[in-house]
Structure 1
Amino acid sequence: MRIGNVYRPDVFGCWVDERLPDVARRMAEKDVGALAVLDGNEVVGVITERDLVRALAESPDVYSARVSEFATTDVETADVEDDSREVAERMLEAGFRHMPVTQNGEMVGMVSMRDLLALETWSG
């Protein structure tokens, strides 16, 4: 199945220079485990719940810490035309639980391992 049939089409993101409390609040409001980190129109990272936990453990002042200090910047993306099994394999190999989804080079949403697990469970 194509990722275009699985991903969450809402583009939830944050700016690279935002403060962590604002990002955590947005994640809670949107009920998501990760946000794309944007620098202009470019996806430069992903900030996840795990990154926020690491920030709490490591930052002397988490309230003024910026996304750029804790976001994962080794980012891969999936295209809406990519096969969902191939994307799941890439995510497992890289250790990612969330991956931005693009179409024609523009971010259009996010896919999570939970989305892919649900697909596998319900389609089988």
Structure 2
Amino acid sequence: MRIGNVYRPVVFGCRADERLSEVARRMVEKKVGALAVLEGDQVTGIITERDLVAAMALFIDPASVNAAACAPTEVKTAGLEEDSREVARRMLDAGIRHLPVEQDGRMVGMVSMRDLLALETWAS
């Protein structure tokens, strides 16, 4: 099945200069495990729950640290037409649980391992 049938077509993101306390608050509010770090509609990083936990361990005051300091900047993406199994394999190989979905160079949503697992469960 193609990613366009699986992904969540909504963009939850933050700016690179936003404080981690705001990033964490938004994740809780939106009930998501990752936010795209955005510059306009371009993804410049991804910040995840794991990144927030690491920041808590490294910084005395996470409220004084911004998203850019903790978000990996090497961003892998998926296209709407890609096969879900290939995307799942790529995510497993990279050790990541969230992948931005792009169309024509701009982010249009996110796919998570949970989304892909649900697909496999429903397809069985």
TM-score by length of 2: 0.97
Q: Deviations over 1:51-81 (max 9, x none)?
A: 0000100012211100011112121000011
Q: Return the offset for 1:41.
A: 2.7
Q: Return the offset for 1:39.
A: 2.0
The alignment covers a number of residue pairs equal to 124
Structure 2 unaligned blocks of 5 or more: none
Identical columns (%): 68
- Does the 8 Å CA contact 2:42/2:105 hold for their aligned counterparts? no
Q: Return the offset for 1:103.
A: 1.1
Residue aligning to 1:105: 105
Note the aligned Cα RMSD (angstroms): 0.8
**Structure 1 ranges of 4+ moved more than 4 A:** none
Aligned partners of 1:41, 1:113: CA distance in 2, in Å? 23
**2:36 aligns to what SS in structure 1?**
strand
Residue aligning to 2:49: 49
Paired AA for residue 88 in structure 2: A
Q: Return the offset for 1:90.
A: 0.4
TM-score by length of 1: 0.97
